[in-house]
């Protein structure tokens, strides 16, 4: 029996040590660390980076289109009967073994400046892809900010719910004592029990909400399902930046720093370059070609090497293509390009309008959140005092359980309102900082 006790003790010690080690290894993530990690690992950001890489490949490929191409060829043939010798072009009746080898090259000298404009357009697409990648990074940054603050709000809600449960359980004990003494009715006792049960339910709901936001945050960070994630609480005394600029000034600053505006400008420029490419099809094109080749035929008595020297040929040529009528394809391409320019300009205006709407909303919400925070704090303090007085009256028997529950719920709602106002205040201040090109940090 002593051996079993010793083994059980050792197993318990090892299990406790393992639990403690796992607990100590749990990383606590700050908002800044979460953002930095997500920008490096989030798959949406990685996908945007791949789009930039593809745009760079297209740009380099368009630059290479100016270079001449070069192809080599080799063929071996056998013919019998009446045929034309592929090397000498003589008409013969015989069996012929022939070999042909050569290289040829061509390059475009002029094509209505289409090659040059295509290179310029692909360079614009590359620059636009860089800005679009920044847009995706910003979207992830804002998503983490919102999810992180929601998780913190839920985490603090758990604390409020647990404190309420602890208080309500004490009220149940008091109510049971008074019920046994015959100083209160049964419904007063059941009211206390009902409130305790409600507070237990609120804890479960708060914990579930917290876990949902943690799951969402883990997905933004691309963490494995088995990874643990703890978030860092914020400083209760943190100073929020005052509104030094109005919404119009913030909007003017945002137009200069946010990547979606630059991406919209480049979209317009790229479509304008597409119009130049389409118009280039109206102009003639000039290309240069050349080839080197030689061959061997079995009906010739010279050796293989001698024939290759004798049959060695060189060709050089220019080709001019003049467009006359291509079934209005070029005309349609020009019209399409003009329409796409207008669409790009409209999309740019839409982007600017949407940006101003977001800034105006965040600005008004910031002002409102500041006022709500002050009012919510005053309301919470008043509700706290009222609840403390109600609790003293309840202990003295001058207040019913129902009235105490009402006071407790009023205090709880005031706490939740204050908590919500606090985090909304933080969120909208951070949004305004973001729109001005400043870092998001708590």
Q: What pLDDT, in 10s, does the model give residues 159-200?
A: 999 999 999 999 899 889 888 888 888 988 999 999 999 999
With 70 as the cut, is the pLDDT of residue 336 above it? yes
191 to each of 52, 176, 361, how far by Cα in Å? 63, 11, 43
Q: Confidence band (pLDDT; 50, 70, 90) for 145?
A: very high
pLDDT, tens digit, for every residue of 86-106? 777 777 777 888 899 999 999
Question: Model pTM?
Answer: 0.86
Whole-angstrom Cα distance, residue 382 to residue 388? 10
CATH 2.20.200.10-classified regions of the chain: 67-110+285-322
Whole-angstrom Cα distance, residue 417 to residue 424? 10
pLDDT for 43 equals 97
How would DSSP label each residue in 253-283? HHHHH-HHHHHHHHHHHHHHHHHHHHHGGGS
Q: Which pair of structure tokens corresponds to residue 252? A: 């003017």
CATH 1.20.1600.10-classified regions of the chain: 29-65+112-283+323-435
Beta strands 28-29 and 230-231: pairing type? parallel
With 90 as the cut, is the pLDDT of residue 125 above it? yes
With 80 as the cut, is the pLDDT of residue 378 above it? yes
Q: Confidence band (pLDDT; 50, 70, 90) for 263?
A: very high
CB 118 within 8 A of CB 62: yes
Mean pLDDT of the chain: 90
68 to each of 34, 58, 314, how far by Cα in Å? 50, 18, 17
116-154: b (≥16 Cβ within 10 Å) or e: bbbbbbbbbbbbbbbbbbbbbbbebbbbbbbbbbbbbbb
Q: What percent of the chain has pLDDT over 70?
A: 93
CATH of 29-65+112-283+323-435 given 3.50.30.10, 1.10.10.10, 1.20.1600.10, 3.30.420.590:
1.20.1600.10
With 70 as the cut, is the pLDDT of residue 222 above it? yes
With 70 as the cut, is the pLDDT of residue 241 above it? no
Residue among 277, 300, 334, 324 nearest 115 (CA): 277
Q: Confidence band (pLDDT; 50, 70, 90) for 19?
A: very low
What is the arithmetic mean of pLDDT over 288-309? 90
With 90 as the cut, is the pLDDT of residue 42 above it? yes
Q: Spelled out in words, what is the top-level CATH class assigned to the domain 67-110+285-322?
A: mainly beta
- Phi (first) and psi of residue 72, to 5 degrees: -110, 150
* Helix/strand/coil for 230: strand
What is the arithmetic mean of pLDDT over 239-264? 88
């Amino acid at each position: 029996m002593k051996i079993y006790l010793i083994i059980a003790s050792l197993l318990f010690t090892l299990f406790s040590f393992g639990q403690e080690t796992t607990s100590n290894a749990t990383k606590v993530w700050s908002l800044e660390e979460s953002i930095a990690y997500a920008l490096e690992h989030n798959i949406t950001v990685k996908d945007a980076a791949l789009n930039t890489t593809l745009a760079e490949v297209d740009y380099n490929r368009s630059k290479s289109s100016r270079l001449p191409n070069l192809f080599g060829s080799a063929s071996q043939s056998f013919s019998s009967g009446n045929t034309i010798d592929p090397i000498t072009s003589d008409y013969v009746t015989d069996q012929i073994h022939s070999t042909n080898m050569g290289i040829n090259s061509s390059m475009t000298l002029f094509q209505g400046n289409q090659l040059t404009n295509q290179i310029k357009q692909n360079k614009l697409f590359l620059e636009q892809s860089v800005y679009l990648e920044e847009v995706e990074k910003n979207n992830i940054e804002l998503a983490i900010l919102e999810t992180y603050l929601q998780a913190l709000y839920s985490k603090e809600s758990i604390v409020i719910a647990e404190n309420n449960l602890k208080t309500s359980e004490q009220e149940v004990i008091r109510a049971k004592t008074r019920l046994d003494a015959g100083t209160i009715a049964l419904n007063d006792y059941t009211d206390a029990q009902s409130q305790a049960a409600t507070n237990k339910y609120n804890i479960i709901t708060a914990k579930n909400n917290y876990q949902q936001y943690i799951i969402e945050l883990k997905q933004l960070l691309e963490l494995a399902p088995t990874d643990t994630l703890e978030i860092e609480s914020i400083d209760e005394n943190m100073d929020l930046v005052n509104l030094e600029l109005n919404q119009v000034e913030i909007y003017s600053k945002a137009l200069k720093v946010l990547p979606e505006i630059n991406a919209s400008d480049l979209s317009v420029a790229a479509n304008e370059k597409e119009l130049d490419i389409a118009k280039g099809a109206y102009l003639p094109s000039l290309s240069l070609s050349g080839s080197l080749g030689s061959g061997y035929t079995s009906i010739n008595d010279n050796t293989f090497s001698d024939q290759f020297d004798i049959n060695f040929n060189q060709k050089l040529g220019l080709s001019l293509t003049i467009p006359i009528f291509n079934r209005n394809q070029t005309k349609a391409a020009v019209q399409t390009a003009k329409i796409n320019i207008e669409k790009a300009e409209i999309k740019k205006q839409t982007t600017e309008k949407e940006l101003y709407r977001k800034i105006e909303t965040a600005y008004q919400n910031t002002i409102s959140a500041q006022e709500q925070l002050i009012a919510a704090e005053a309301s919470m303090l008043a509700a706290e005092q009222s609840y403390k007085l109600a609790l003293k009256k309840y202990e003295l028997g001058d207040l019913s359980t129902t009235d105490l529950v009402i006071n407790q719920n009023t205090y709880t709602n005031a706490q939740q309102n204050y908590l919500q106002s606090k985090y909304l205040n933080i969120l909208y201040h951070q949004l305004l900082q973001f729109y001005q090109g400043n870092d998001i940090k708590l």
